[in-house]
Structure 1
Amino acid sequence: MNKNVSFWELDTLSLAQQEQLLQRTEADLSSYIEQVTPIIEQVRLGGDNALAELTNRFDGSDLTPGQLRVTEAEFDVAATLVDEKTLTAIRFAADNIRRYHEAQKPGEMTMQEVRTGSFVGERFLPIPSVACYVPRGKGSFPSVLLMNAIPALVAGVKRTIVLTPPGADGSVDAATLVACREIGISAVYKCGGAQAVAAVAYGTESLPRCSKIVGPGSPWMVAAKQLLAARIDPGIPAGPSESIVFADSSVDGALAALDLLIEAEHGPDSSAYLVTTSREVAEQAIAALPEHWADMSDLRVEYSATVLCGPMGGVVLASDMDQAFDFINAYAPEHLQILSRDPWQYLGRIENAGEVLLGQHSPSTLGNFVLGCNAVLPTSGAAATVSPLGVMDFMKFMSVAYVTESGYPEMAEQAQVLATYEGFDGHANAVSERRQKYLK
């Protein structure tokens, strides 16, 4: 494979060329939407039979409709396949993730007195159901299960299920099943891609219809969520992995190269840039990549080299800090690492990012697995307006208001003025003097 790392010098690029660097693989979903439309319709009409047929076709398995749900026996087998070290790491990560999200959970109700005798507030409730999607095509991801499901459980969602593609032998990743059992989830279904989204959007004989689906996935899955948004809340946009590593002149470029590979190795549809104002750091990073690749598997080298040597990755050299952070904010990365001996000096410059990992001891690896902050993050520039997955993604609130007898006159007087101005006679009458004759 050609491993000429893409090098982009912003001062030499036109505005159109700079804009092109901001694109992601799923920027245009039209071709995927065309492909997933018949899949969705097949599941809608065929239920479990269609879901099993599509799962077998796309995942190479040989499942019957009755085998879509993971059995207790399969959970038991999985427990024998996961070593103690992995189990300890799963428990460590789950504990941190739970602690982080428990701190996010609001109280049951808030109330404030906006005027004497007039109170307004919110009552918080969990959503009724959610499907947590755990991808598998490019790896096994028990960490994604923990990130998706724990905040739902903390929120108090009554029905939390898991969707994940099976392997060719029909089994589910053992560590993912162990993680499910550790946090108390028993409803796991063997399906992925667009067909899994359709299954929980419409419901099948085996899979319940769900209110929401969360979790990262392929462009086919993202396209299906877009098409089915009227039937199921698609959650935050969470597509292929993307990252920016910013490094200033105080750090070794080889370290920046090491961290650049974290998200780049997820798949050939990922995006990853090193952004720096230091030509020396840029050159050090490019020179160090072959050494880092030498300690990676052929598959992860292929994935990351495809990204870093392609049009949506590589090394970006900015002329100054303003240009560097203008590019970062325009990109609005899913993951942003700040490599510097004094990383806090840059935090105020960052406006758009799913997460910001500060300093040389905070690589994305920690955030992805064990720190506790959620690693299901908005992609494709959505970080400009969307937050990471959290407890409030699994909760809703209703407004609550209460006006006392003493607080009513002032409120009624002002409301009647606005109702009259806007021409709503019923509104105005409801707060007029005629109300008094009905009050005891």
Structure 2
Amino acid sequence: MPTTVTFHEYATLDDAGRAALLKRTEGDLGPILEAAKPIIEAVRDEGDAALARFANQFDKSPVTADAIAATPADFDAAFDAVDREMIEVLEFCSDNVRRFHQAQMPEEMWWKEMHPGVFAGEKVVPIDSVACYVPRGKGSFPSVVMMTTIPAVVAGVGRPFIVTPPGPDGKVDAATLVAARIAGVEEVYKCGGAQGVAAVAYGTETVPRAPKMVGPGSPWVVAAKRLLSDRLDPGTPAGPSESIILADETANGRVAALDLLIESEHGPDSSAWLVTNSRSVAEDALAAIPGYWAAMGEERTGFSQAVLCGPRGGVILTPDFGAAIDFVNAYAPEHLQIHAEVPQDYLGAIRNAGEILLGAHTPICIGNFTLGPNAVLPTNAAALTHSPLGVHAYLKTIGLGHVTRRGYDLLAPKAKRFAEYEGFDAHANAVSAMRDAAFGNEG
């Protein structure tokens, strides 16, 4: 495997070279889409039996069809398995996430008087049921449990539940169960990948059907969500991890390099760039990275090297900081951290990012775990149009209207003219003299 960090001089790249820097792993799902189809069909037709078979095949986990759900005893055992310090960390971080999302909650209902006797408004209601996907393949992620379940509970979702791949022991990760109970969620099902998405879309003997799924996942999860989008709202697009560390000439290149490695260690399908207009910052970062790899474990080093020494990561030197900001806005990264003496100076210029973390003391890992804002963020340039996961993803609005007789007299003639123009006879008749005649003496 190459161990030399990829380095690009942005000014020397042609249009094709610059476009190549924007590509992510999930950009080409063609082969995975085809391979996911029979998995989805099997779950639709066979239910729990297919989930158990795929757990054995893909997760190397001895799950049986009658043990798809985590039991209350599993939750209790998880609290014994996780050390007290970690439980306290989960409680502390969960409280920050909860308080942030409580502050996000909109009014339950509002009205505005548009004209005398004409009232319009909205009613906000939670979605009945939402599945929270918690990945596991390259580690365990109780942080994702916090970020997906807590806003669901805050929003008032009637039935939030978790689907997650089982481990090689046939069980759910213990910290995942602890985080779920802290959040107030007691339903967890052992099914991940495309089969987990299919289980939620169709329902099985054990896994309930839900109209929506949230949470990050592998390209297999992304592909299955796309294939099942007619049955399942896939929520915020959240695929393999990605980040940009944006650094100006006042930044410390060694610290920027430390933060560059954060998302690169998630897996070989991640993307991570340091973008700077300063050659000295770039050189300092490049010089520091090998030493940081030496302080990491073999697996995570391998993931990081696959990213930073490949086509989806490394260091980009731009001719000026304006070009660096333009690249960020075109890339629309999941995570953006700005390394600068006064990072707030650049905040107004950033239009496209899942999150913006300001300053050298706000590394992405603090955002991922402890800060409070949601860390389930749009990937693969979805930040061009999508927002982070939050309470709004678990809520829907219902339009409201009320018109008095006084308001009707103002609106009806205009509605009648509109209906006539668009050729709708019943529309026009409903706001004509025929209405008064139908009321008789009651109008």
| TM-score, L = length of structure 1 | 0.99
2:378 & 2:415 partners in 1: Cα distance?
41
Report the identity percentage.
Answer: 58
Within 5 A, what are the aligned runs for 1:33-432?
Answer: 33-432=33-432
Taking only aligned residues, the RMSD between alpha carbons, in angstroms, comes to 0.8
The amino acid of 2:89's aligned partner reads: A
The amino acid of 2:103's aligned partner reads: A
Structure 1 consecutive aligned stretches of length 4 or more whose deviation exceeds 6 Å = none
- Decide whether the 8 Å contact of 2:248 with 2:321 is kept in 1: no
Superposed displacement of residue 354, structure 1: 0.3
Any idea what the Cα deviations from partners look like across 1:322-357, whole Å, max 9, x if unmatched? 211111100000000001110000001101000000
Any idea what the Cα deviations from partners look like across 1:78-134, whole Å, max 9, x if unmatched? 111111111111011110111111111112101101111101111011111111111
Any idea what the Cα deviations from partners look like across 1:9-33, whole Å, max 9, x if unmatched? 1111010110000000010111000
Superposed displacement of residue 438, structure 1: 2.8
2:5 maps to 5
SS of the counterpart of 2:167? coil
- Decide whether the 8 Å contact of 2:256 with 2:360 is kept in 1: no
Superposed displacement of residue 56, structure 1: 1.0
SS of the counterpart of 1:66? coil
The amino acid of 1:315's aligned partner reads: V
SS of the counterpart of 2:106? coil
1:44 & 1:414 partners in 2: Cα distance?
50
1:137 & 1:425 partners in 2: Cα distance?
59
SS of the counterpart of 1:44? helix
SS of the counterpart of 1:348? helix
2:63 & 2:320 partners in 1: Cα distance?
57
SS of the counterpart of 1:119? strand
2:160 & 2:421 partners in 1: Cα distance?
48
1:80 & 1:434 partners in 2: Cα distance?
73
Superposed displacement of residue 436, structure 1: 1.5
For this pair of structures, how many residues does the alignment match? 440
The amino acid of 2:278's aligned partner reads: S
Superposed displacement of residue 434, structure 1: 2.1
- Decide whether the 8 Å contact of 2:279 with 2:317 is kept in 1: yes
1:179 & 1:385 partners in 2: Cα distance?
30
1:243 & 1:135 partners in 2: Cα distance?
19
Any idea what the Cα deviations from partners look like across 1:255-307, whole Å, max 9, x if unmatched? 00000011111000000000000000000000000111121111111101110
The amino acid of 2:12's aligned partner reads: T
Q: Which moved more, 1:136-145 or 1:423-432?
A: 423-432
1:43 & 1:432 partners in 2: Cα distance?
54
1:407 & 1:41 partners in 2: Cα distance?
54
Q: Which runs of 5 or more residues in structure 1 are unaligned?
A: none
Superposed displacement of residue 437, structure 1: 2.3
SS of the counterpart of 1:406? helix
Q: Which runs of 5 or more residues in structure 2 are unaligned?
A: none
Any idea what the Cα deviations from partners look like across 1:244-264, whole Å, max 9, x if unmatched? 000111121000000001111
Any idea what the Cα deviations from partners look like across 1:181-216, whole Å, max 9, x if unmatched? 112211111111000000110010011111111111
SS of the counterpart of 2:326? helix
The amino acid of 1:319's aligned partner reads: P
SS of the counterpart of 1:233? coil
SS of the counterpart of 1:336? strand
